[in-house]
Structure 1
Amino acid sequence: MEYSGEQEQFDVVVIGAGIMGSCAAYQLAKHGQKVVLLEQFDFLHHLGSSHGESRTIRATYPEDYYSQMVIESSRLWEEAESEIGYQVYIKTPQFDMGPNNNKSLQCVIENCKSSSLPCSVLDPKQVSEQFKGRFELPENWVGVLTQLGGVLKPTKAVSMFQTLAFQMGAILRDNMQVIDIKKDNEKGGVCVFTSNGSMFRGNKCIITIGAWMQKFVKMVTGKVLPIQPLHTTICYWRIKKGHEEKFLVDSGFPTFASYSEPYIYGTPSCEFPGLVKIAVHGGYQCDPDERTWVSTKIEDSVNSWIEGRFSGHVDSSKPVFTQSCMYSMTPDEDFVIDFLGGEFGNDVVIAGGFSGHGFKMGPVVGRILNDLVLNGEALGVDLSYFKMSRFEKNPEGNVKEFEDQVHSYEPLPM
């Protein structure tokens, strides 16, 4: 096939311009690399996993290997904000809650101690006093309050990292659908081919394509990674009249997560006046190229959870409106960050399977990807948990001692 479009040599070609690819391009450009960032759709599109009005940031994880990553990422978020000159990270406390015998929540508490992350463990009465009646917990529940929390502005944040990468010399190209990559046996490195006839040569290549990762890796290598795209629905609920100010960041309202069935999370009222984001962690299986865009059914348990936890201050009858997003879910809900291997060896790095909780770690993942392509290793983080080979040893991936937060995936809607 003749490739009549762009043909240029780069140190690194980054495929996928969501939060992970944009952070990687930023780090590479910052380290003096000649880098090109390719996106199959328009930049800042709403078809993947890196758009919208909010994501939470928290260091409270049942898995101890994530807490330090979030702490580093928090610092890197602030560093990027200082370079761009505007805010994408709105700080507020993080509040986790759940039954006091919930293994995941107990692991969260233990990890706070081992990570030197200050936390307050509160009984229901203390929770009511702390939040002045805005949260009410059942008698057998416990709350965990930490100060490292907040709201991230996703679309604005992706734009920030792309802008910083561009200012540092990165080349950005959208509407560049990558259809193949091949080992460059002539010059070494990798050749990246796009549907419009362009070819980009890179000494190294990073692939961060979210819900398209499984399809692409199978096409290129024949390997089947257990990364399942899920269509998920974000819900916004009306705060009842006279209570709107209680749910604002300025009033001390936190980002929150509920370790119960279902696993529920949310943010203060900051995206839309008078509304609070309350959503379920999960969704239904989908093909990223053939989504139905049908909203996930709201279970009755969500309505009763809202009514019970917020003392009747939020209208729990139905959400005011919903937004669609996608997860790239692994069986163990851990990331995949690894060399592609095979004929590509260490020339190609993949990063995917962020399972609905990776956005907050975009800056640290960008740093890790930069380190992997430049040095062959990344310091300060144990990447053994994120290797592809874990699924060869066990189809479910990493073994964990606590219950999963996504208990089942709904089938494709008919």
Structure 2
Amino acid sequence: MWEQAQSEAGYKVYFKAQQFDMSPSDNKSLRSVISSCEKNSIPYRVLDRQQVSDRFAGMINIPEDWFGVLTDVGGVIKPTKAVSMFQALAFQRGAVLRDNMEVKNVVKDEVRGGVNVETANGEKFWGKKCVITAGAWARKLVKTVAGLELPIQALETTVCYWRIKEGKEAKFAIGSDFPTFASYGEPYVYGTPSLEFPGLIKIAVHGGYPCDPDKRPWGLGTSLDSLKEWIQGRFSGLVDDGGPVKTQSCMYSMTPDEDFVIDFLGGEFGKDVVIGGGFSGHGFKMAPVVGRVLADLVLGGEAKGVELNYFQDSKVSRESWRECERL
């Protein structure tokens, strides 16, 4: 669906690469990646330490008791350009975008039916249906609107860019043989080939600190000590591990199991209001298909070909959330 959208827009936002996942041999998450590949007929290769070194010409090293999984389904998306692309395609279909309109509430319209969306500057917008995709503010807004406590916690996290050693920049650039990657365990690390900033590679920790999205500390969001150590052990001195030369602070909207929250709000709203949130730091790449699901829900009342799990009926989810809050 990314390729379909960028073809219609006339420019690229998605740049393909291989995806390389690595972990200790007993890691269940990476085992589940293999199971998913098999279930969906996605070709993959399992590599031991020596095979990893051979495959990436010594650029990536893993410990003796680790293994890796290589597939062809990686890539890098230019997010700002992608947002502009979706907005432009929406405009072509008659959408209207209103910037700087802070939504304060969504209330049922008892006269006309549908809902009224109320903003901080006093303006109101009526619609037959409403989709709430408020990111890190989803939990706060939904509690105001429906009194429902969604299992979504805002985390402040930091994206880090590290300098590639001089003369090695081309080896890490998008379009080379270098993959997007993820490393399971502690810390959970992910990264991409060099694209946004020439000579810099994005390597960051998947995680952060709980925060109030309206009162962010604007700090690092996570300690860099373990990340520096991870870089030292994986990239054979090809990346400067002294510290990131550029950082960007952002927020995750985390659920206990990192599954998305996509559902009807229910209650007095019935199927008039749909919520999409809790994308847990890995939702942007899913934007086209999530958009399709949300559209199906508001237009037809069901997500075609997609099974929805209701948090209210899930004992495991409730217990996971209580444990998350306790920790």
TM above 0.5: yes
In the alignment, is the contact (CA less than 8 A) between 1:231 and 1:284 conserved in 2? yes
In structure 2, give the amino acid aligned to 1:218: K
Asked if 1:196 is matched to 2:121, the reply is: yes
In structure 1, C-alpha distance between the alignment counterparts of 2:67 and 2:240, rounded to whole Å: 24
Q: Deviations over 1:133-189 (max 9, x none)?
A: 111111111111000110011111111101110111111111111122111111111
| Structure 1 outlier segments of 4+, above 3 Å | 390-394
Task: Name the amino acid aligned to 2:25.
Answer: N
Question: How do 1:242-261 residues align onto structure 2 when only pairs under 5 Å count?
Answer: 242-261=167-186
**1:133-212 alignment, distance < 5 Å:** 133-212=58-137
Given residue 79 of structure 2, which amino acid in structure 1 is its aligned partner? Answer: P
- Matched AA of 1:173: R
Number of the residue aligned with 1:332: 257
Residue 316 in structure 1 maps to residue 241 in structure 2 = yes
Partner residue of 1:231?
156
Q: Counterpart of 1:217 in 2: which secondary structure?
A: helix
1:103 is aligned, of 8, 28, 34, to 28
Rounded Cα–Cα distance in structure 1 between residues aligned with 2:313 and 2:58: 45
Amino acid at match of 1:175: N
Structure 1: 5+ residue runs without aligned partners? 1-75, 399-406
Unaligned runs of 5+ in 2: none
Would you say the 8 A contact 1:332–1:396 is kept in 2? no
Change (3 A) 1:136 1:329: same
Equivalent of 2:273 in 327, 348, 352:
348
Task: Give 1:130 shift.
Answer: 0.9
**2:215 — aligned with what?**
290
2:312 equivalent to 1:389: yes
Q: Name the CA distance, whole Å, in 2 between partners of 1:275 and 1:298.
A: 20
Amino acid at match of 2:265: L
Aligned to 1:58: none
CA deviation profile, 1:50-76 (whole Å, cap 9, x unmatched): xxxxxxxxxxxxxxxxxxxxxxxxxx1
Whichever residue aligns with residue 143 of structure 1, its letter is: G
Conserved? CA contact 1:94–1:147, under 8 Å: yes
TM, length-normalised to structure 1: 0.76
SS in 1 for 2:129: strand
**Residue pair 1:293, 1:324 contacting (<8 A) in 2 also:** yes
Aligned CA distance change for structure 1 residues 408 and 275 (closer, same or farther; 3 Å):
farther
1:392, CA displacement in angstroms? Answer: 5.9
Name which structure has the greater RCO, CA cutoff 8 Å, separation 6+.
1
**Distance in 2 (alpha carbons) for counterparts of 1:238 and 1:145:** 25
Residues 262, 408 of structure 1: alpha-carbon distance in 2 compared, 3 angstrom cutoff:
farther
Q: Does 1:366 align with 2:294?
A: no
1:388 positional shift:
3.1
Aligned AA (2:257): D
Aligned-residue Cα RMSD (Å) equals 1.7
Separation of aligned partners in 2, 1:273 and 1:113: 36
Q: Is the 8 A contact 1:338 1:388 kept in 2?
A: no
Matching of residue 216 in structure 1 with residue 154 in structure 2: no
Instruction: Report the Cα distance in structure 2 between the residues aligned to 1:394 and 1:273, rounded to whole angstroms.
Output: 42
Paired with 1:390 and 1:280, the residues of 2 have a C-alpha distance of 32
1:390: how far off? Answer: 4.5
Choose which of 282, 302, 307 in structure 1 pairs with 2:232.
307
Q: Distance in 2 between matches of 1:105 and 1:114?
A: 14
Residue aligning to 1:116: 41
Deviation at 1:297, TM superposition (A): 4.2
Which residue number corresponds to residue 45 of structure 1? none
C-alpha distance in 2 between matches for 1:344 and 1:374: 15
When residues 95 and 176 of structure 1 are mapped into structure 2, their CA distance, relative to the original with a 3 A threshold, is same
Structure 1 residue aligned with 2:205: 280
User: TM-score under structure 2 normalisation?
Assistant: 0.95
Select the residue among 292, 303, 325 that pairs with 1:378. Answer: 303
